[in-house]
Structure 1
Amino acid sequence: MCELFYSALDIALIIADMNPGYQEEVRLLDLIWKNEKARLVMKYRENQRKFILDIYYWLHYLFDKAVLDKEFDAMQIDLAHLNRTVQPEQLTGDFSGLGLFFKSTRIQILYGSGRSYVRIKLRTLLKQYGYKRRSSSLLQYIRGCMLFYNLEVALRNGIPCSIETVGLDRMLTFRLSSRISSS
């Protein structure tokens, strides 16, 4: 359940993908802070400054990843003089994850794209995150994400569908659920 909450890295990845201008970026961060607080990792819910600083840390890392990764050994030597260490997984790691799709979908619909939906083929969605088939645990995880982020899925003409039974090559449309408030 904890992985469903937005981390600073999640927000940085979403913003980097959206590629807004500086003013739009500031507006997005402000809206996310104000409106998505209940979905933020606990340590950010009462500390906007930490939230913003951590996001900018990750944004800088993402934009300068190749340079920073090259500097890792030199950084380890410098930190050793201070009797400190940094583990590689603290700075690098697997940034993929199906949960990020649902996080990004909610943020894009509410604050970013100007559209009230996100479309993707089910096969593309699964392939993008390394899945080839729909296992029961994967389907359970997707249902949990859709519930947590208040999303519903339909076919292209707005016909409700189920991720469990829809064809892999069908175009899916994700929207905020009308059954529950969007905040």
Structure 2
Amino acid sequence: MELVNVYDIATFLSVIDVSYIRERQIISELYRDLQYEGSLNEFMLNVDEQLEQLDVQVMKEIDELQSQMKKNLISCHFEKDMAHYLKVMKLRMQYTEADYVKIKLRTLLKQLGYKRRSDKLVAELNEMFQQLGLMVYKKGGILGDLSELALDEFMTIRLRSE
């Protein structure tokens, strides 16, 4: 699994509220950290292009929803697959002041588009957390397996310290 792609970076930048200068600094940091093969300018152009495509996608979704509901839309969420959602979460912890994400398991599943917790889903989530270097904590200590967590119990997600 590719750790982070341009789409993940663009989504991350679209959800954080930073100045244009800080956005450029974050892109430069990502360029260095990901050891991108092309030039920095090429990397920035690719990210900017993806940001524009996201803007177009969001505007299309807003137009579709407004035509269906015939009223103004206050907020819009991107469709997220599991890996993409967790990658954006990791980027937020790496490149903003947020050291952790505190969330209920039920809320996480809802954000990912699931209504129920299955053994297969929990195994996939545990594997994704492992691959992305994310640690899950519950009150009182480290949680090795999400199946040990109650649906309405809070978990804290942090970057694995090396």
What's the counterpart of residue 17 of structure 2?
Answer: 19
What percentage of aligned pairs have identical amino acids?
A: 27
Work out the CA distance in 2 between the residues paired with 1:141 and 1:53.
33
Unaligned runs of 5+ in 1: 38-44, 71-93
Matched to 2:20, the amino acid is Y
Match of 2:37 in 1: 46
Match of 2:146 in 1: 163
Task: Specify whether residues 100 and 156 from structure 1 end up closer, same or farther in structure 2 by C-alpha distance, changes over 3 A only.
Answer: farther
Structure 2 Cα separation of the partners of residues 13 and 144 of structure 1: 22
State the 1:63 CA deviation: 2.6
Q: Match of 2:123, as an amino acid?
A: Q
Q: Which residue of 2 aligns with 1:177?
A: 160
TM-score if structure 1 supplies the norm length?
0.70
- Residues 130-177 of structure 1 show CA distances to partners (whole Å, capped at 9, x for unaligned) of 1122223322321222122211001245x2123122001111100111
Pairwise CA distance, 1:11: 0.7
- For the Cα contact (< 8 Å) 2:3–2:132, is it kept in 1? no
Gapped regions of structure 2 (runs ≥ 5): 64-77
Give the aligned partner of residue 55 of structure 1: 47
How far residue 100 of structure 1 moved from its aligned partner, in angstroms, is 2.1
- The reply on whether 1:111 has 2:103 as its aligned counterpart is no
TM-score of the pair, normalised by structure 2: 0.78
How far apart, in 2, do the equivalents of 1:96 and 1:102 lie? 9
Q: Would you say how many aligned residue pairs link Structure 1 and Structure 2?
A: 145
Tell me how far apart the structure 2 counterparts of residues 156 and 33 of structure 1 sit (CA, whole Å): 36
What is the Cα deviation at residue 102 of structure 1? Answer: 1.6
Q: Take 1:53 and 1:111, find their aligned partners in 2: how far apart are those partners?
A: 20
Q: Distance in 1 between matches of 2:31 and 2:23?
A: 12
Distance 1:140 1:36, change over 3 A: farther
**For residue 93 of structure 2, what is the amino acid of its counterpart?**
I
Structure with greater Cα Rg = 1
Amino acid at match of 1:46: E
The Cα RMSD (Å) is 2.4
Which stretch has the larger CA shift, 48-57 or 165-174? Answer: 48-57
Deviation readout 1:46-73 (Å, 9 max, x if unpaired)? 0144332121112122234427x99xxx
